[in-house]
Amino acid sequence: MSDQELFDVRYLTPPDAARLEPPTRASHPPRILLLYGSLRARSYSRFATEEAARILDSLGCETRIFDPRGLPLPDATDPGHPKVEELRTLSEWSEGQVWCSPERHGAVTGVMKSQIDWLPLNSGGVRPTQGRTLAVMQVSGGSQSFNAVNGLRLLGRWMRMITIPNQSSVARAWQEFDEAGRMKPSAYYDRIVDVMEELVKFTLLTRDRSDYLVDRYSERRAAGRSTEGDRIAAAALKSAG
């Protein structure tokens, strides 16, 4: 049995810790896009999303909440539809995202999935979600469940996002919000604060490094992009040190 590796050394180099320290750091507030998954007038996923945005604003972020009303079903129209363009522009603008869905029939809602399905993995050389951080939340009408957040995690991985470890699941959401749609003080609210705090930390940690973190051997090989320059630079840095 041969010990010969099958990878092409022209497109592979050991990870360089120095490249994980960006020469410059962005100074603008973290940009966070928030999506929710219900069109009801009294939408608990929207209420939870608005609470998350308030927390993020207090943590120094710039936030945008996308209103899914009027967004067509995926493939029902041209991507040039104004709502589709709005969603994609916001996704490209963002450095992190929050997805909050009700749990319906044990899964995320069609409203939530439609928004994600309109975000392509690649569009004109731009990847609207790759390398961005993601926090997932859900609201339930009954007892606490994690089906929706588990589904959102799967979708986040598929969209090549960095999904943070913490998450929020609000049970019996109908009793957790007042008539004005504000969340009542509770352990559920405290968990949303925890999740948003963690999201901001992960966003600050990765946003200046995301290009390097998601740079892949298979894609370099497919594009014929050699890492020889990276090896030379790493050797020069080591000798200088």
Q: How far is CA 143 from CA 101, 103, 156, 173, 221, in A?
A: 15, 11, 25, 9, 49
Whose CA is closest to 10, among 225, 238, 236, 235? 225
Tokens 């014929």 belong to residue: 224
Sign of the CA dihedral 230, 233, 239, 241?
negative
Highest mean pLDDT pick, 58-62, 210-214, 235-239: 58-62
- Check: CB of residue 199 under 8 Å from CB of residue 192: no
The arithmetic mean of pLDDT across residues 138-149, rounded, is 91
Distance of CA 58 to the CA centre of its chain: 20
State the DSSP H helix or E strand holding residue 33, giving kind and residue range, or none if neither: strand 31-36
CB atoms closer than 10 angstroms to residue 220: 18
Q: Quickly list DSSP for 56-95.
A: HHHTT-EEEE---TTPPPTTSS-TTSHHHHHHHHHHHH-S
Read off the pLDDT band of 234 (50, 70, 90): low
Identify which has the larger pLDDT, 219 or 45. Answer: 45
- Cβ-based burial of 138 (10 A; exposed 0-12, middle 13-18, buried ≥19): buried
Global pTM? Answer: 0.89
The C-alpha atoms of residue 226 and residue 215 are separated, in whole angstroms, by: 12
Which pLDDT tens digit goes with each residue over 7-62? 888 888 888 888 888 888 999 999 999 999 999 999 999 999 999 999 999 999 99
Residue 163 backbone dihedrals phi, psi, to 5 degrees: -85, 125
Which two structure tokens, joined as six digits, stand for 7? 């990878």
Q: 36-45, 63-72, 110-119, 141-150: lowest mean pLDDT where?
A: 141-150
The better pLDDT of the pair 235, 34 is held by 34
d(CA 23, CA 4): 37
Supply the pLDDT for residue 81.
96
Which has more confidence, 110 or 22?
Answer: 110
Distance CA 35, CA 113 (A): 10
Give the residue, 231 or 71, on which the prediction is more confident.
Answer: 71
Q: Residue 18, CB half-sphere, CA atoms under 13 Å: how many?
A: 11
Cβ distance 160 to 121 under 8 Å? Answer: yes
Give the 3-state secondary structure of residue 228.
helix
Which CA distances in Å does 174 have to 85, 108, 178? Answer: 33, 18, 9
The DSSP string of 105-120 is TTB--HHHHHHHHTS-
